[in-house]
Structure 1
Amino acid sequence: MRAGVGRVPPWGLAVTAMFSVQLGSALSVGLVDEIGPAGTAWLRLSFGAVVLVLLARPPLRSVRRADLPTLLGLGVATGGMTIAFLAALERIPLGTAVAIEFLGPLGVAALRSGSRRALAWPGLALVGVVLLTEPWTGRVDAVGIAAAAAAAVGWAVYIVLTRRIGDRFSGIRGLAFTIPVAAVTAALVGVPQSAGRMTVGVLLVAAGVALLVPVLTFALEMLALRRMTATAFGTLMAVEPAFAVLLGLLVLHQRPSPAQAVGIAMVVAAGAAAQRGGRRDRPGPRPGGPGTPTPAQEAAC
């Protein structure tokens, strides 16, 4: 198995991880229709938490009292971000939702870069988002855009808190602590929302999606990061909004207009440029990774 994975180029692993994330998002749309965004978030996070805890078996004694506020804050931010993103998918196309959410890490990157020039990249991405939402058509879904913007804020908070947790816990232990908290957070809204609507089919689909995100995604990213630099990895992962548009087209039949295609290209270019300009004084582990920051973390440093 290891030899087989070793023959796959690292960029192939990273691309597969991107595909896994966006396929999981696309497949979640059907679940959202069945049990609502909060119910979908709750099931997805719950199944993911079980798998991650079984894999990592994190020792509770390793948690210090000073770690609790950050662990709880990160878990709550992850749960809220997941609910908000799925709520956005209920109303706007996948590619648009991912592009708006991507403004979160880009904003953190700009604020932490120490360079005025870096402010151009979130600005470029914002112009791309305007092209994606096409406000001049009069068909703007303000609620969907607001939900995606809330997810962007959640992702920004996630980046800030993940760096602290990543410096404390190795491997996937950080995730094994925070994803259960995220699941409990989502349960507060998700359990009432999905009550009476749960079926065996829904549970099976939710379990399968959870294997795609976060389990398979983080495993592939770990393998990729062991064989390529964080900068190269992060630049490649900036293409993720384009993957969202592709999966939205193939799975959800959401066809972008020419203006929207230009918009997504601008978001991708902004993400790649911000990543190439990112820096960190010392490396810290990504949540679920082998001591290397995530693309968004790297860009935000």
Structure 2
Amino acid sequence: MSHSVIDSRSSFWQVLAPLAAAFGAMLSITLGASLAKSLFPSVGPAGTTVLRLGIAALMLSLAFRIWRLRPTLRQWRAIVPYALSLSLMNLLFYMAISRIPLGSALAIEFVGPLTVALLGSRRRIDFIWIGLAVIGLLLILPLSGTARVIDPVGAVLALAAGVCWGLYIVTGRRAGQAMGASTPAFGMAIGALVVMPFGWAQAGSGLLDPNILWLAVAVAVLSSAVPYTLEMYALRRLPPHRFGILTSGEPVVGALVGWICLAESLPPSQWLGIAAIIAASVGTTLAARRG
């Protein structure tokens, strides 16, 4: 085999691998969310949140050996807001998908980071992306009297999770600068403690049921360990704007996973709403790159 053929295959894999990693992270996250819904009848959304964060925190703590670290007061001030936004984001999102389809919840939640991106810009073109996002929300949240009215409480919970996602981005950057790679381990450990009272009130000793724990481990792996690893791989090899465009497709992946795994079908209007929010996210990402 000639060197040119080997080099072409190598370069093709170098391009394909990070794209596959980014898509794999999205697929893993949405599969983890669909599996988490199977735990809701047993331990509820709050109990599922406790198990996911607690198990993921244990995995990351062992990986980063956080017991060897001694954060300063300044570092704690950066970590705690990050942990609070992380825990509330997960809790509110699980509460949302207990009421509304996975794809719709992801699309509504996506408004959070989209707002953070838009707040950092002052260009006229950004009003187009704001308008698209608003149109998308109106399509996902049909007015009363239509054939497929989405649960209003679930929609509000998804929107609140999006607000926490926006705060998570802002506080995560500060915490990451203060603590480095061990930040998620500290954040998930504190986050698990924050939601523990809600989880225990909802599930009690059911949180310790062995039949529940093995499913919770799978949720933690799919929702935290696998996507975190794949995203770090992709981020090191892709320009930020390309990674942002790829992750904009997460609501579509979530809608497809919800349809296949949970039999959650969406009407055409809600598919259009998801597409509008994705278009707004892609437009914002490209505009930020040009800026």
The answer to whether the superposition gives a TM-score over 0.5 is yes
- Structure 2 alignment gaps of length 5 or more: 1-9
What code does the residue aligned with 2:187 have?
T
What is the SS of the residue equivalent to 2:218?
Answer: helix
Q: Secondary structure at the match of 2:84?
A: helix
Amino acid at match of 1:260: Q
Structure-2 separation of matches of 1:280 and 1:169: 31
Structure 1 residue 110: deviation in Å? 1.0
Contact 2:133 2:280 in 1 (8 A): yes
Deviation at 1:95, TM superposition (A): 0.8
Alpha-carbon distance in 1 for matches of 2:48, 2:123: 40
The worse-fitting range, judged by mean Cα deviation, of 111-120 and 202-211 is 111-120
- How far 1:276 moved relative to its partner? 1.7
Is residue 194 of structure 2 the alignment partner of residue 185 of structure 1?
Answer: yes
C-alpha deviation, 1:153, in angstroms: 1.1
What does residue range 122-133 of structure 1 map to in structure 2 within 5 Å?
122-133=130-141
Alignment deviations for residues 205-253 of structure 1 (CA, whole Å, 9 cap, x no partner): 0111101111110101111122221211111111111111111111111
Distance in 2 between residues matched to 1:82 and 1:128, nearest whole Å: 23
Q: Does the 8 Å contact 1:106/1:121 carry over to 2?
A: no
- Any idea what the Cα deviations from partners look like across 1:109-161, whole Å, max 9, x if unmatched? 11112324324323312211221222241733121111111101111110110
Matching residue within 117, 126, 130 for 1:118: 126
Alignment correspondent of 2:281: 271
Shift of 1:255: 1.1
Aligned to 1:299: none
Unaligned runs of 5+ in 1: 282-301
Q: Which residue, 260, 279, 287 being the options, matches 2:270?
A: 260
1:62 positional shift:
5.1
Distance 1:65 1:35, change over 3 A: same
Q: How far has the Cα of 1:279 moved from its partner?
A: 5.6
1:54 aligns with 2:62: yes
Write out per-residue CA displacement over residues 23-50 of structure 1, whole angstroms, 9 at most, x where no aligned residue.
Answer: 1111111112221111110000000000
Cα RMSD after superposing both structures: 2.1
Seen in structure 2, the aligned counterparts of structure 1 residues 177 and 196 have a Cα distance that, compared at 3 Å, is: closer
Q: Deviations over 1:258-281 (max 9, x none)?
A: 111111111111111112223699
Residue type of the alignment partner of 2:48: T
**Alpha carbons 2:49, 2:90 under 8 Å: kept:** yes
Rg comparison, structure with higher value: 2
Instruction: Say whether 1:146 aligns with 2:156.
Output: yes
Give yes or no for contact 1:103–1:126 (8 Å, CA) kept in 2: no
Contact persistence 2:78–2:178 (CA under 8 A): no
Q: CA offsets, 1:39-69, max 9 Å, x none? A: 1100000000000011111365452211212
Kindly provide the amino acid, as one letter, of the partner of residue 278 in structure 1: A
Q: Do the aligned partners of 2:75 and 2:179 also contact (CA within 8 Å) in 1?
A: no
Residue in 1 that maps onto 2:19: 11
**2:33 pairs with one of 19, 25, 38:** 25
Q: Which moved more, 1:194-203 or 1:160-169?
A: 194-203
Corresponding position: 1:251 with 2:274:
no
Which residue in the other structure is 1:134 paired with? 142
Confirm or deny that 1:229 pairs with 2:239.
yes
User: Normalized per residue, which structure has more helix?
Assistant: 2
Partner amino acid, structure 2, of 1:195: G
